[in-house]
Amino acid sequence: MFETLTQKLEAALKRLRGEGRISEANIAESLREVRRVLLDADVNYKVVKDFIDTVQQKSLGQEVISSLSPGQLIIKIIHDELVALMGSEKSDIALSSSPPSVILIAGLQGSGKTTFSAKLARLLKAKGRSPLLVAADVYRPAAIDQLEVLGKQIEVPVFVNRKDSALTIAENSIVHARLNARDTVIIDTAGRLHVDEEMMQEIEKVKKSVQPHEILFVVDAMTGQDAVNTAKAFHDRLNFDGVVLTKLDGDARGGAALSIRSVVQKPIKFIGTGEKMDALEPFYPDRMASRILGMGDIVTLVEKAQETFDKEKAQKLEQKIRKAQFTLEDFYDQLQEIKKMGSLSQMISMIPGASRLGNLNDVDEKELKYVEAIIQSMTIEERQHPAIVNGSRRKRIATGSGTSVQEVNKLLKQFFEMQKMMKNIGKGKNFNRMLTQRFH
């Protein structure tokens, strides 16, 4: 799967893999190369542009970890961005709590809808469900035969009616499922072009009438950019819930897999990797990114190093707390972590023990800005020894930070309380009680 893409990416990043120093020019050159590789793989040009921009930005803001080379860090960033591009998390299909769940399958001719319908039925059956396959492709008698053959093979019943319209078949199949205790209805439809107005109206009618819990768009990964364009056109009409990429066992270039999610904003849910009934996999963005990028060794290495780095930082902070050396400067550093992480609750969770402080949502972000400004207006000495901050210093700090003396007082009071609390934590006193107290 995606061998060519993987090989080329590896070549593009080769010079970054090596040890030694890496210059900005070097990074830029490698990223230019990555851009070319992605475009060659038929990834949507806008997706490529955003991707490279993000990687570049994140590379610059990267924290230096001594045990890693910048190149390794960039490879990890690229990996993470590939994951993000494909949706970060695995998406399941929606199943209704009151049966039957209805799944409607749509797509171009020959994309693999009938094969996928049967594969999905097999998978759901293995999970203990009772699927019913529905042959709603009324235009080719052979299509109905095909589904019947597959149904027999996987021992799943197939709802067939060789006289009615696709709409009537779909409607009747649900009644049939109810009467026969089938909890999941999979409707296989005829292939259609998005420009075929009559056919598009047909599937819209089916959708409107049977109200599927899940509409899956099946697309041949070999078709690259075309896959993305048709996905968009189908999505405009059907607002489908997810994508099934088929024929990934062939020499698909990767463009569809990497672009589709950001173009239609719907996740890839399954991939087809062969003609056989068991050649179906749920789609895991992280696994796919690792397959595409290769270099799993580096990604793991960087993850481990980053973990250790964070742990070391946390340990240092903890030691300070235990020795009661926590200063306003440390407090300020912690505030900077907030900003880096983007969210206050995430940051607070980084303070050892703070996760048990309870509901943190009502901590005021604006107030934190004041706190930051106040600390910024202090000298280093004042930050390290807040006890020296007397009346005239408080006035100066208030003016410098555009706050009031009362606000400076409040912060110092809070800080001294916090320091006291930390001293007690350090001595192991009333640990639990301390942790359930609020900062404010």
Ligand X SMILES: Nc1nc2c(ncn2[C@@H]2O[C@H](COP(=O)(O)OP(=O)(O)OP(=O)(O)O)[C@@H](O)[C@H]2O)c(=O)[nH]1
Q: Which amino acid is at 156?
A: V
Burial of 58 (0-12, 13-18, 19+ CB in 10 A): middle
247 is a contact residue toward ligand X (CB under 6 A): yes
Instruction: Find the part of the chain contacting ligand X (CB under 6 A) among 103-111, 166-174, 175-183, 398-406.
Output: 103-111
- Name which position in 6, 30, 72, 114 contacts ligand X (CB under 6 A): 114
143 is a contact residue toward ligand X (CB under 6 A): yes
Q: How far is the CB of 176 from ligand X (least distance, A)?
A: 22
- Find how far residue 157's CA is from the centre of its chain: 36
Q: How far is the CB of 265 from ligand X (least distance, A)?
A: 23
Q: How far is the CB of 35 from ligand X (least distance, A)?
A: 29
Q: How far is the CB of 116 from ligand X (least distance, A)?
A: 6
Q: Say how far apart CA 176 and CA 324 lie, in whole Å.
A: 72
Closer CB to ligand X, residue 111 or residue 419? Answer: 111
Q: Please state whether beta strands 214-220 and 158-159 pair in parallel, antiparallel, or not at all (unpaired).
A: unpaired
Which one of Mg ion, ligand X, none interacts with residue 18, CB within 5 to 8 A by kind? none
- Name which position in 110, 141, 296, 402 contacts ligand X (CB under 6 A): 110
115 is a contact residue toward Mg ion (CB under 5 A): no
The CA radius of gyration of the chain, in Å to the nearest whole number, is: 29
Q: In this structure, how many other beta carbons lie within 10 angstroms of the beta carbon of residue 339?
A: 12
330 is a contact residue toward ligand X (CB under 6 A): no
Closer CB to Mg ion, residue 113 or residue 207? Answer: 113
x/- string (CB under 5 A) for Mg ion, residues 137-156?
Answer: ------x-------------
112 is a contact residue toward ligand X (CB under 6 A): yes
Taking a C-beta distance cutoff of 8 angstroms, is the pair 192, 72 a contact? Answer: no
Tokens 């009747």 locate to 172
Closer CB to ligand X, residue 85 or residue 245? Answer: 245
Q: In this structure, how many other beta carbons lie within 10 angstroms of the beta carbon of residue 136?
A: 30
Torsion angle of C-alpha atoms 158, 164, 168, 172, degrees rounded to 10:
-40
- Name which position in 35, 76, 79, 113 contacts ligand X (CB under 6 A): 113
Closer CB to ligand X, residue 185 or residue 252? Answer: 252
For residue 228 the two structure tokens come to 């993305």
Closer CB to ligand X, residue 30 or residue 273? Answer: 273
109 is a contact residue toward ligand X (CB under 6 A): yes
114 is a contact residue toward Mg ion (CB under 5 A): yes
Kindly report the backbone phi and psi dihedral angles of residue 273, in degrees, each rounded to the nearest multiple of 5, phi listed first.
-125, 30
Beta strand spans in 110-162 (E): 131-136, 158-159
DSSP 262-281: HHH---EEEEE-SSSTT-EE
Touching ligand X, residues 21-60 (CB under 6 A) = none
Give whole-number Cα distances, 388 to 158, 325, 377, 378, 380, in Å.
83, 15, 14, 11, 12
Find the helix packing angle between 285-293 and 70-85, rounded to 10°: 130
Q: In this structure, how many other beta carbons lie within 10 angstroms of the beta carbon of residue 311?
A: 10
For residue 414 the two structure tokens come to 């809070």
| Residues 88-102: b if buried by 16+ CB within 10 A, e if exposed | eeebebebeeebbbb
Q: Say how far apart CA 251 and CA 410 lie, in whole Å.
A: 65
Taking a C-beta distance cutoff of 8 angstroms, is the pair 218, 241 a contact? Answer: no
- Residue with nearest beta carbon to ligand X: 191
Q: Please state whether beta strands 268-272 and 280-282 pair in parallel, antiparallel, or not at all (unpaired).
A: antiparallel
Neighbour order of strands in the sheet with 158-159: 158-159, 131-136, 184-189, 101-107, 214-220, 242-246, 268-272, 280-282
Q: How far is the CB of 229 from ligand X (least distance, A)?
A: 17
151 is a contact residue toward ligand X (CB under 6 A): no
Q: How far is the CB of 159 from ligand X (least distance, A)?
A: 16
Q: How far is the CB of 280 from ligand X (least distance, A)?
A: 8
- Name which position in 111, 173, 230, 259 contacts ligand X (CB under 6 A): 111
246 is a contact residue toward Mg ion (CB under 5 A): no
Which one of Mg ion, ligand X, none interacts with residue 241, CB within 5 to 8 A by kind? none
Closer CB to ligand X, residue 270 or residue 331? Answer: 270
Q: Say how far apart CA 235 and CA 229 lie, in whole Å.
A: 10
Q: How far is the CB of 153 from ligand X (least distance, A)?
A: 13
x/- string (CB under 6 A) for ligand X, residues 250-289?
Answer: x---------------------xxxx---x----------
Interface with ligand X (CB under 6 A), residue total: 20
Instruction: Find the part of the chain contacting Mg ion (CB under 5 A) among 49-57, 84-92, 113-121, 371-379.
Output: 113-121
Note the residues at the interface with ligand X (CB under 6 A).
107, 109-115, 137, 143, 191, 246-247, 249-250, 272-275, 279
Note the residues at the interface with Mg ion (CB under 5 A).
113-114, 143
